[in-house]
Amino acid sequence: FLRRNVAHFTFFKDQPDASLGATKEMNLCQTIQNSLDITLGNDNTAIVFGEDVAFGGVFRCTTELRSKYGADRVFNTPLCEQGIIGFGIGAAVAGATAIAEIQFADYIFPAYDQIVNEAAKYRYRSQNLFNCGKLTIRAPWGAVGHGALYHSQSPEAQFMHTPGIKVVIPRSAIEAKGLLISCIKDDNPCIFFEPKILYRSAKEDVPIKEYTIPLSKAQIIQEGSDVTLLSWGTQVHVIREVAQMAAKENISCEVIDLRTIVPWDVDTICQSVSKTGRLLISHEAPVTGGVGAEIAATVAKECFLNLEAPVERVCGYDIHPIPHVFEPFYFPSKWRCLDAIKRMMNF
Q: Taking the mean position of all CA atoms in its chain, how far away is CA 109?
A: 17
* Binder of another protein out of 16, 142, 155, 164 (CB under 8 A): 164
Shortest distance (Å) from residue 201 CB to another protein: 5
Which residue, 187 or 223, is less far from another protein as judged by CB?
187
Shortest distance (Å) from residue 103 CB to another protein: 7
Which residue, 94 or 319, is less far from another protein as judged by CB?
94
Looking at 90-239, which runs of residues are DSSP E strands?
98-101, 135-141, 166-168, 190-195, 203-207, 219-222, 227-231
Query: Buried (b) or exposed (e) across 32-63, using 16+ Cβ within 10 A?
Result: bbbbbbbbbeeeeebbbbbbebbebbebbbbb
Instruction: Specify the 3-state DSSP secondary structure of 50.
Output: strand
Contact 94, 131 (CB under 8 A): no
Q: In sequence order, what DSSP letters do the residues of 170-203 get, joined into one string?
A: -SSHHHHHHHHHHHHHSSS-EEEEEETTHHHH-E
Task: Please report whether residue 125 would count as binding another protein according to CB under 8 A.
Answer: yes
Task: Please report whether residue 17 would count as binding another protein according to CB under 8 A.
Answer: no
Which residue, 140 or 290, is less far from another protein as judged by CB?
140
* Binder of another protein out of 16, 50, 88, 233 (CB under 8 A): 88
Shortest distance (Å) from residue 52 CB to another protein: 7
Looking only at residues 167 through 196 of this chain, which bind another protein when binding is defined by CB under 8 A?
187-188, 196
Looking only at residues 205 through 224 of this chain, which bind another protein when binding is defined by CB under 8 A?
216
Looking only at residues 313 through 332 of this chain, which bind another protein when binding is defined by CB under 8 A?
none
Looking only at residues 249 through 308 of this chain, which bind another protein when binding is defined by CB under 8 A?
263, 266-267
Q: Compute how many residues bind another protein; rule: CB under 8 A.
A: 74
Q: Taking the mean position of all CA atoms in its chain, how far away is CA 40?
A: 22
Task: Please report whether residue 47 would count as binding another protein according to CB under 8 A.
Answer: yes
- Residues known to be catalytic: 81, 151
Task: Please report whether residue 103 would count as binding another protein according to CB under 8 A.
Answer: yes
Task: Choose one: 72-80, 222-230, 279-287, 313-321; the region binding another protein (CB under 8 A).
Answer: 72-80
Q: In sequence order, what DSSP letters do the residues of 248-276 get, joined into one string?
A: TTT--EEEEE--EEES--HHHHHHHHHHH
Residue 221 region by backbone torsions, left for phi larger than 0, else alpha for psi between -120 and 50, else beta: alpha
Task: Please report whether residue 75 would count as binding another protein according to CB under 8 A.
Answer: yes
